[in-house]
Chain A
Amino acid sequence: MTWHTHRHAPAPGQRLCALENVPDGVCTELRYGAGEDAFTMLLYRSGLAVKAYVNCCPHFSLPLNSRPGEFLVLGGGRIMCAYHCAIFRLRDGYCVEGPAVGMSLDSVPIEIRDGHIFMALAA
């Protein structure tokens, strides 16, 4: 199953949040649905650019964070998975160190329009 078929994944074109609510340089968690079945994704903002990824480490298929909203963001635009320490580049989701080397975070296509972040229409 890919994230596209997750029953709580936002639909193409759905508004996610206002750009001004996404702090620069760190990760912001978005959650859809409740409990174990929730779909969670993270946004990483660098200036006016925003990347979005499914919040799931490809190593053990666990979330990258162990506490809601708390991510281990490293200098140089990287993130470390809280469970087994895989380190990913946030600009492209590629794992550069740790147990998921060679794997990538699943990218979520988004668009920014009029100061708001939306799921891309082609998602």
Chain B
Amino acid sequence: MNSQSIIEPSVQASPPNDRTGYRSFSLGSFNFTRDEYFARISWQAQGKQMSHTMSADAFLRAMMRDVAWGFFYGWVNFDAVVGTRNLYGKVELYAGRYYGAYRDQGLDLTEVFETPQIMATFKAILDDWTNEGFDPFAAPDETSKSWQGTKHGNNRGAIDRQRQACKRMPGLPGDAELRKEENGYPVNRAFADVSQEEPEIHAEPGFENEVHAFSLFAYLSRSDVTWNPSVSSVCGRSLFCPTTEEYTLPIKHGNDRVEWFIQLSDEIEWEIEDKNTGAPRAKVLMKAGDVAAMPADIRHQGHSRKRSMLLVWENATPGLPEMYDSGKLKPYPIEF
């Protein structure tokens, strides 16, 4: 038996800026500010004041995923410079660590925070910097440009959405609901041609309550978010996490385990880089029916010119990152 201390997250925020209306935030040695167009992350290294600028919409889209995914598996690179690494209980926040020009000159910074502390800070930034009408989960064609300009309102209904999960499978009694018009999930404009028919189940006598099925295509056609997988099947540590994708994955995801991708419809173009250096490793154009295993030593970013359906098959076994780090597991699932 062990014990631990009680964590009291405390968000460090400035008063609203007189001109822009946005607050600035600090977390450890990092500072976050935004103006009409840009988010700026600043830190000190080698006695120098460093800063990195991102378009505010790109920053909010990236931070939205980091928050909604609970820092996800491994590395969430907001871009080539800034990102987080999930240590499961603690989170690293880094700037320049995986960007050669900074790292090689010692101008990078990495700090580790208790997960509740960084999560509370990120949620506060997201809340303050997301204006009314802008949905960081939506494709650009589906949301407004209200991310621009001085602060006006908020969009808590959009940013409080989480990654949907189920205990076993949606539609089972006591489990997550199937998506329907009535519970707020209309068919997305890109999937108007997807059949909404559900499977017929003819169970043998005695098995009536032990067989379940639903149409994954119909379920996905009603997804109201992009690049935000939902759990649609749980079998031990095996999770099916399908998602709909449009435009660009707002982060470069650095895997800490192998992820299997199965392209269910349309196409996604993947850029795959070395996880640590960012050196290009491959470009993969996945078409409907294609399967790929994303290795545990890469980071990837996808582009989908039309909304597409992707099944991400995840292995949620605790301790996997350590098995890859130690070399017990190779970073790829098969050798040819």
Binding site for B on A (CB under 8 A): 17, 21-23, 25-30, 36, 58-63, 65-75, 80-86, 98-101
Contact = CB atoms under 8 A, between A and B. Distances in A.
Contacts of B186: none
B6 interface: yes
B46 interface: no
B223 to A, nearest CB: 16
B68 A62 contact: no
Interface in B1-23: 1-9
B70 A84 contact: yes
Contacts of B127: none
B2 A83 contact: no
Nearest to B70: A84
Contacts of A58: 167
Contacts of A21: 1
B165 A85 contact: no
B148 interface: no
B89 A82 contact: yes
17 contacts: A25-B6, A26-B3, A27-B3, A27-B4, A28-B2, A60-B239, A66-B318, A67-B88, A72-B115, A74-B7, A75-B7, A75-B8, A82-B88, A83-B70, A84-B71, A85-B71, A85-B116
B165 A60 contact: yes
Interface of B: 1-9, 68-71, 87-89, 114-116, 119, 162-163, 165, 167, 231, 234, 239, 316-318
A68 B115 CA distance: 17
B4 A17 contact: no
Contacts of A98: 70, 162
A2 to B, nearest CB: 11
B2 A72 contact: no
A72 B162 contact: no
B89 A72 contact: yes
B44 to A, nearest CB: 28
Given A66-B318, A72-B114, A75-B6, A99 B1 contact: no
Contacts of B316: 60-62
Nearest to A80: B116
A54 B177 CA distance: 24
Given A60-B165, A72-B116, A99 B4 contact: no
Given A63-B318, A82-B89, A85-B71, A99 B2 contact: no
A74 B6 contact: yes
Contacts of A72: 4, 7, 89, 114-116
